[in-house]
Every structure is written in C-alpha cells, then in structure tokens.
C-alpha cells in the first residue's frame, strides 16, 4: 500500500464483495469468505458491519464526536458530555474508541467489525459494545467461535485492551498477512502528512502530541 491507501485517502487497494456486502482489501476477501462459510456451517451468519472506511468518513466521525453530535463514551461505555470536557480530555476520550483520521486500520480494508446476523433479535439495534459479546449478549457465541477459529483464516484481534491504547473490541478482527505490513508502513511522517491540511477539530493539540499518539494508538496493538 502507498501512503494514500494507508491513510484512507485512496481506495485503489479495495473492492466491493457482493457476497460479503462489504468493501475490503482485494487480498483479504477470499480468507473472509472462507471463514464465513465455516461459520455458516456452524450456524453463525458472519456479517461485516464495517470494513473499509475512508479518511473522509473517519474525519466526519472524529469531528462529530468532538462537537458532541455523536455519542462520546468513557472507558466503561457510559456517554459523556463532550462539550463539558476541555480539548485535551475530549481528544483522549475520542481515542479510547475511535482512531484518528489517517490512523484507522479500517483504511487498509484488512479490518472488519463482525456480528452474527442470525443472532440479532427483531428490532434490535446493534451497538458494538463489549456486553453484546459476553453472555448473555446476542454475540457471545460468535465471540467464542472467533476465538477458536479466526486464526485459521489469518484473522486476529488487534484491540484487547492490553497493549493497545484502544479499549477492547471483541468485534474487530484484522487480516494479519496484510495488516501487519500496513501497520509498519504507517509511520509518524505518513500520518502527519495526512493530517496536516485536514479540517480536523483539535488539530493543533493532536499534532503537538502526534508522536505519542502514534506510538500508543498505531504502533501498539495486541498481537495474537
């Protein structure tokens, strides 16, 4: 991947899979389809709620959280009043759950947020919170299945809340054969160039702390 692809400013490395109903890295599609077929044989309808995400989409998410237009959660998953927080704490709170534009692993098309569509009750709104992936949550069976089988297809969880700065995300799986190369190539300089001219709220603070943020939220992950 080149710098534009790494930071979500280009989509030449991804394509829409009709069968998966998702935009994903072209070299990760076969593995995800294989894992989906195995899951279906075990009674699980593996579905990617989110796969590739562009820089612009990540920028929108960031700015909406910064302005208090989208829920901003604390470490325990409770909604905070974004506008009541000083800028430093607001940025820290966003980063607990959302990546900086240009730093999201979803830019690579290698990372997917997975649910079991067959386990979603009628009228239920999926929140992608840890409680949904623990018993008696609707996706507890999926979480256990992925822990047993995802590695066979090259997928792992980069965010377990151990080494990574991001809170534990049992729904977020990454295709290691491509993602690891992308992580190493997404250097501090590449990320800085992507953010330098972007209309990012809180940008001055972010850029002043970018070396620390890159080390904590890009370079540090939970390896399998």
d(CA 4, CA 16): 19
What beta strand segments (E) does the chain contain?
14-17, 22-25, 46-50, 72-73, 79-80, 111-116, 155-156, 172-175
**Token pair for 203:** 């940008």
Boundaries of every domain in the chain: 3-215
| Cα 133–chain centre separation | 16
Q: Which of 7, 204, 20 is nearest to 105 (CA)?
A: 7
Pick the CATH number of 3-215 from 3.30.420.40, 1.20.1050.10, 3.30.1380.10, 3.40.50.2300: 3.30.1380.10
Phi-psi region at 138: left, alpha or beta (left = phi > 0; alpha = psi -120 to 50): alpha
Q: Cβ(161)–Cβ(100) under 8 Å?
A: no
- Rounded Cα distance between 70 and 72, Å, is 6
Cα 120 from Cα 12, distance rounded (Å): 33
Please report where in the chains the tokens 């079991």 appear, as a residue. Answer: 116
Q: Look at residue 166 in the predicted model and tell me its pLDDT.
A: 85
The pLDDT value given to residue 80? 83
CA 52 to chain centre: 9
C-alpha to C-alpha distance for 218 and 212, rounded to whole angstroms: 10
pLDDT score of 223:
80
pLDDT tens, the chain, 224 aa long: 999 999 999 999 999 999 999 999 999 999 999 999 999 999 999 999 999 999 999 999 999 999 999 988 877 778 888 888 999 999 999 998 889 999 999 999 999 999 999 999 999 999 998 999 999 999 999 999 999 999 999 999 999 988 888 888 999 999 999 999 999 999 999 999 999 999 999 999 999 999 999 999 999 999 87
Token readout for 187 is 């250097």
Q: How much is the pLDDT for 75?
A: 75
Residue 7, CA distances (Å) to 56, 114, 201 in order: 10, 22, 18
């Amino acid at each position: 991947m080149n710098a534009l692809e790494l930071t979500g400013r280009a989509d030449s490395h991804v394509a829409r899979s009709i069968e998966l109903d998702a935009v994903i890295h072209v070299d990760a599609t076969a593995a995800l389809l294989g894992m989906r077929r195995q899951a279906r044989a075990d009674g699980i309808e593996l579905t990617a709620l989110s796969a590739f995400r562009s820089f612009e989409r990540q920028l929108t998410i960031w700015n909406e959280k910064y302005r208090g237009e989208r829920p901003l959660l604390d470490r325990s998953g409770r909604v905070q009043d974004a506008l009541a927080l000083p800028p430093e704490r607001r940025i820290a709170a966003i980063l607990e759950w959302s990546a900086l534009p240009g730093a999201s692993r979803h830019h690579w098309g290698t990372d997917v947020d997975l649910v079991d569509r067959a386990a979603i009750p009628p009228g239920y709104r999926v929140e992608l919170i840890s409680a949904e992936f623990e018993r008696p949550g609707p996706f507890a069976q999926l979480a256990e299945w992925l822990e047993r089988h995802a590695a066979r297809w090259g997928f792992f969880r980069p965010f377990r809340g151990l080494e990574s700065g991001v809170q534990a995300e049992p729904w977020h799986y990454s295709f290691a054969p491509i993602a690891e190369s992308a992580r190493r190539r997404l250097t501090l300089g590449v990320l800085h160039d992507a953010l330098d001219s972007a209309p990012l709220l809180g940008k001055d603070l972010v850029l002043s702390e970018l070396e620390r943020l890159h080390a904590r939220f890009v370079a540090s992950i939970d390896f399998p």
